[in-house]
Amino acid sequence: GDCIVAVGAFITRPLAPGERLARAAERLSIDRRQIDAWAAGQTPWSAEQLWRVAELALEQFRAAGQIARLETEVRSLSVNLATTYEEISLLHRLANNLKISQSDEQLGRIAVEWLGEVLPAAGFALQFLPVVRSDVKLDHQARNTAVLLTHGQCPLDQQQFDALIAHVKPALHGRPTVLNRSVTGHPGWPFPQVRQAIVVALVEGENLFGWLAAVNHRQDREFGTIEASLLSSVAAILGIHSGNIELYRQQSELLAGIVRALTSAIDAKDPYTCGHSDRVARISVRLAEELGCDAKMLNAIYLAGLLHDIGKIGIDDSVLRKPGRLSDEEYAHIKRHVEIGHRILRDLHKLEDVLPVVLHHHESWDGDGYPNKLSFHEIPLAARIVAVADSYDAMSSDRPYRAGMPEEKIDAIFRAGAGKQWDPEVVAAFFSARDDIRAIARGQ
């Protein structure tokens, strides 16, 4: 850059006219008299004054150097700050999407798109590993093969990505693995299409959920710590989200296990009606679909169908297994199963949506049912639905002491009972979904 040079003349002893001054005047092309007059007017500097001037000059020089250094530092800090700001804003946006309802793949897609805006990589790859799942109906959708999401120009397909991970063996914990020319320029490097890459694991605790990679620098430069730390922050958030989903899945599985155990307890208690709970659950779901219920309601209805008669656990076997007509006293005893069931389940918070169905599935549309003689829309919809499914299965299935009713007779009973025993809208849903319901009852 520009350079300023200062020149000063310092007189340290009185000047007298002489040969040397005459030579100086000649060299500078100044008149001899003029330089003699100038020399006579000079006051010599003391050594202290000179020392002070030299010190001031040096100080000035040092300060200028300091300012230049600070300016460079400010420039690099503001670049870092901008990067940090982008990083924080990206992480903030990701954190806002950490809902359990958001699938890992949905969040992952958002993450790689955003990374594409702030990280100078040509392409990104995000792989989710398959999740080990049991075949539980209540579970979320299972993923049984690995999924590779890519963004930008990612030169790797699923198989090549697997091979890259197997070759590089990135660490599961700690720093991300940065692959620059020192690695990829090696003659034995098996992925010529990968010139630079950062690879980081998606982990939460001991669980490995997948891998996130940035592949090839857009300007063909080396990836540095800023890029690596951004990628590993994003991977950390994705790992936490996957961990949460896994925890939720385990809870659902536990709940499903509890429900299965309870359902088999009912079946063991009342072998005559074997499979009844399962059929009622499936028929109820079909009716609820016909009535336009949402996914959450369908899930609750399914559980409610399985558990609606759980209170039969508390009913005497002699009454429960008695073929033929029950005495008034026995009937009153059997009616108690709705309240017993309610008591059994009421402390399981995860099953709170099921409780109204357990308690009210024997209420009647006209208010003539039990236990609370509720009528019309006072009866929860799920209970009105399960009531129709329960009645259908009871009428259609064979019992040791009687055969199942013919379909025409069941239809006639429903037509007559719509608006009396049953909600007419649910009965209408029964008729529109009748073929499916008959197939469920036949065990198809």
**Bridge partners, residue 212, by sequence:** 126, 200
Cβ atoms < 10 Å from Cβ of 260: 13
Looking at this protein, which amino acid is placed at residue 349? H
3-state helix, strand, coil in the chain (%, to 5): 60, 10, 35
Least separation in angstroms between residue 320's CB and Fe ion is: 11
Interface with Fe ion in residues 269-298 (CB under 5 A): none
* CA 29 to each of CA 22, 25, 37: distance values in angstroms, whole numbers, following the listed order: 10, 6, 15
Position of tokens 């109906």? Answer: 137
Q: By three-state DSSP, how is residue 411 classified?
A: helix
Q: Which one of 34-42, 208-216, 301-309, 402-410 is the stretch in contact with Fe ion (CB under 5 A)?
A: 301-309
Interface with Fe ion in residues 308-347 (CB under 5 A): 309
Least separation in angstroms between residue 389's CB and Fe ion is: 11
Instruction: Say if CB 168 and CB 179 are below 8 A apart.
Output: yes
Please tell me whether residue 363 binds Fe ion under the rule CB under 5 A.
no
Judged by beta carbon, residue 110 or residue 394, the one nearer Fe ion is 394
Judged by beta carbon, residue 309 or residue 393, the one nearer Fe ion is 309
Judged by beta carbon, residue 286 or residue 360, the one nearer Fe ion is 360
Number of H helices, E strands in the chain: 17, 5
Interface with Fe ion in residues 38-67 (CB under 5 A): none
Least separation in angstroms between residue 382's CB and Fe ion is: 14
For β-strands 207-217 and 121-128, DSSP reports them as: antiparallel
* CA 333 to each of CA 163, 237, 266, 316, 317: distance values in angstroms, whole numbers, following the listed order: 67, 56, 17, 8, 11
Q: Which one of 296-304, 307-315, 320-328, 380-388 is the stretch in contact with Fe ion (CB under 5 A)?
A: 307-315
Q: Please give the full DSSP string across 308-348, using - where no structure is assigned.
A: TTGGGGGS-HHHHT--SPPPHHHHHHHHTHHHHHHHHHTT-
Least separation in angstroms between residue 402's CB and Fe ion is: 18
Least separation in angstroms between residue 361's CB and Fe ion is: 6
Judged by beta carbon, residue 227 or residue 309, the one nearer Fe ion is 309
Annotate 41-71 with b (16+ C-beta within 10 A) or e (fewer). Answer: eeeeeeeeeeeeeeeeeeeeeeeeeeeeeee
The C-alpha atoms of residue 161 and residue 159 are separated, in whole angstroms, by 5
Judged by beta carbon, residue 37 or residue 268, the one nearer Fe ion is 268
The C-alpha atoms of residue 119 and residue 230 are separated, in whole angstroms, by 8
Judged by beta carbon, residue 195 or residue 362, the one nearer Fe ion is 362
Nearest alpha carbon to residue 200 among 121, 294, 141: 121
Judged by beta carbon, residue 56 or residue 274, the one nearer Fe ion is 274
Least separation in angstroms between residue 365's CB and Fe ion is: 16
For Fe ion, how many residues bind (rule: CB under 5 A)?
Answer: 1
Judged by beta carbon, residue 309 or residue 363, the one nearer Fe ion is 309
The C-alpha atoms of residue 203 and residue 246 are separated, in whole angstroms, by 12
Least separation in angstroms between residue 397's CB and Fe ion is: 14
Least separation in angstroms between residue 308's CB and Fe ion is: 6
Least separation in angstroms between residue 347's CB and Fe ion is: 21
Q: Which one of 52-60, 62-70, 264-272, 306-314 is the stretch in contact with Fe ion (CB under 5 A)?
A: 306-314
Judged by beta carbon, residue 104 or residue 309, the one nearer Fe ion is 309
Q: Residue length, the chain? A: 444
Judged by beta carbon, residue 309 or residue 423, the one nearer Fe ion is 309
Least separation in angstroms between residue 309's CB and Fe ion is: 4
Q: Which one of 177-185, 235-243, 305-313, 346-354 is the stretch in contact with Fe ion (CB under 5 A)?
A: 305-313
Residues binding Fe ion (CB under 5 A) = 309
